[in-house]
């Protein structure tokens, strides 16, 4: 009889050290069958080797899925309609991938008749919260196993010893190079934590960065690009229509070549601690700048300002794992409504770590009226005399308060 009545578990499986050990540990600890799920969300590594490793460990049901387009279209692009940035800096690269993985975990659990799902997130991080809040929102009675909260294998050395004892085949390298950092990558970003980064004063080694050249070594000649928008989403690059994932793939390559998208952040985790992490988000950095430029031309002032007020709350929802919450869906509906007019083209210059907006246009939805804004003769389009009454009315409360203070 399996422990606690768990006969089958769906494991979010990368094929790396942690999840390979977890696979065996689940079998030994719970006496259960393990179904593995490996998602390609643009991490830049082959996912098929995970199949071979799972097969070598006797796994019978193996799910390997290419989710890049779904990830870009249904998660990243909606988030960028909101211009979401956590604590003014973090573009939420890890956070936004978790709801998709949680969704597929519970879907596979239903398909295979599994009793539980399992993940490799530690008990110190945000990912455990994101995975589990998402899973509970989509499958209220789901059982979740988080080995890092149960076992005593709390160091890399113990994990490696366990793997050796149980004959677990593990590739200890990442992208062909051994890394001392805890890394997470997808189509939106790559993150680095641990090792020397645990000292907030220590500058990251140049060799750490994988996707971007240093701005100092970026080309001396800038690159110009044009991004076309429809309803707040990029639909073409330099006039060539392309899918969301393809847009991000190309922008990552272009941005990386020009040293764009590096961030070094100390952030507040949902579980309470501060954490230092470094991030490369080339495509996201370009997309945020371009989207705000497109909105500046087409979005009404008060709608734009209200969006900016709501954005930190929206970003926190994603960071803390509430993608599938009613409040995020409510905000998303409001945000998407504003995007109906965000149509046009933005021209950008990429140069030595910078994304510079050099032009924006919209043939159908621009609110910029040159006849009103001009410094030349506007032929009566704007009566400057109107400004006097506008100013005096807005100054009324200030004048009343000033008189009161003078009298007292």
Catalytic residue among 7, 156, 182, 263: 182
Sign of the Cα torsion 75, 80, 86, 91 reads positive
Task: Give yes or no: 408 in active site.
Answer: no
Catalytic residue among 98, 104, 130, 328: 98
Task: Give yes or no: 262 in active site.
Answer: no
Report how far residue 58's alpha carbon sits from residue 53's, in angstroms, rounded to the nearest whole number: 9
Catalytic residue among 18, 40, 115, 233: 18
Catalytic residue among 40, 127, 184, 233: 127
Task: Give yes or no: 377 in active site.
Answer: no
Task: Give yes or no: 383 in active site.
Answer: no
- Which is nearest to 265 in space by CA: 282, 278, 249, 250? 278
Give catalytic residue positions: 18, 98, 127, 182
């Amino acid at each position: 009889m399996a422990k606690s009545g768990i006969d089958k578990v769906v494991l979010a499986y990368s094929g790396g050290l942690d999840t390979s050990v977890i696979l065996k540990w689940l079998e030994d600890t719970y006496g259960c069958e393990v179904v593995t799920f490996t998602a390609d969300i643009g991490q830049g590594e082959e996912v098929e080797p995970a199949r071979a490793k799972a097969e070598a460990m006797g796994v019978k049901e193996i799910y390997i899925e290419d989710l890049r387009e779904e990830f870009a279209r249904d998660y990243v692009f909606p988030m960028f309609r909101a211009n979401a940035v956590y604590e003014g800096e973090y573009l939420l690269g890890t956070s936004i991938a978790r709801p998709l993985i949680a969704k597929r975990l519970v879907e596979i659990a239903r398909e295979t008749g599994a009793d539980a799902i399992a993940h490799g997130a530690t008990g110190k991080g945000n990912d455990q919260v994101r995975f589990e809040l998402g899973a509970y929102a989509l499958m209220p009675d789901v059982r979740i196993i988080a080995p890092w909260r149960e076992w005593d294998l709390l160091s890399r050395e113990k994990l490696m010893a366990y793997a050796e004892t149980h004959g677990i085949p593990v590739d200890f390298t990442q992208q062909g190079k051994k890394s001392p950092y805890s890394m997470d990558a997808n189509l939106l970003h790559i993150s680095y934590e641990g090792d020397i980064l645990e000292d907030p004063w220590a500058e990251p080694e140049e060799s750490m960065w994988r996707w971007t050249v240093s701005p100092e070594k970026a080309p001396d000649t800038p690159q110009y690009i044009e991004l076309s928008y429809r309803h707040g989403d990029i639909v073409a690059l330099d006039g060539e229509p392309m899918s969301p994932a393809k847009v991000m793939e190309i922008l990552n390559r272009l941005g990386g070549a020009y040293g764009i998208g590096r961030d070094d952040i100390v952030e507040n985790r949902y579980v309470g601690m501060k954490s230092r992490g470094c991030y490369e988000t080339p495509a996201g950095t370009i997309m945020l700048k371009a989207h705000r430029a497109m909105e500046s031309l087409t979005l009404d002032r008060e709608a734009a300002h209200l969006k900016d007020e709501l954005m930190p709350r929206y970003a926190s929802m994603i960071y803390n794992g509430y993608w599938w919450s009613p409040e995020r869906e409510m905000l998303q509906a409001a945000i998407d409504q504003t995007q109906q007019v965000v149509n046009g083209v933005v021209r950008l210059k990429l140069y030595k770590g910078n994304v510079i907006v050099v032009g924006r246009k919209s043939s159908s939805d621009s609110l910029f009226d040159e006849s009103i804004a001009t410094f030349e003769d506007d032929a009566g389009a704007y009566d400057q005399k109107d400004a006097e009454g506008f100013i005096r009315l807005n100054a009324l409360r200030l004048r009343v308060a000033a008189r009161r203070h003078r009298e007292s």
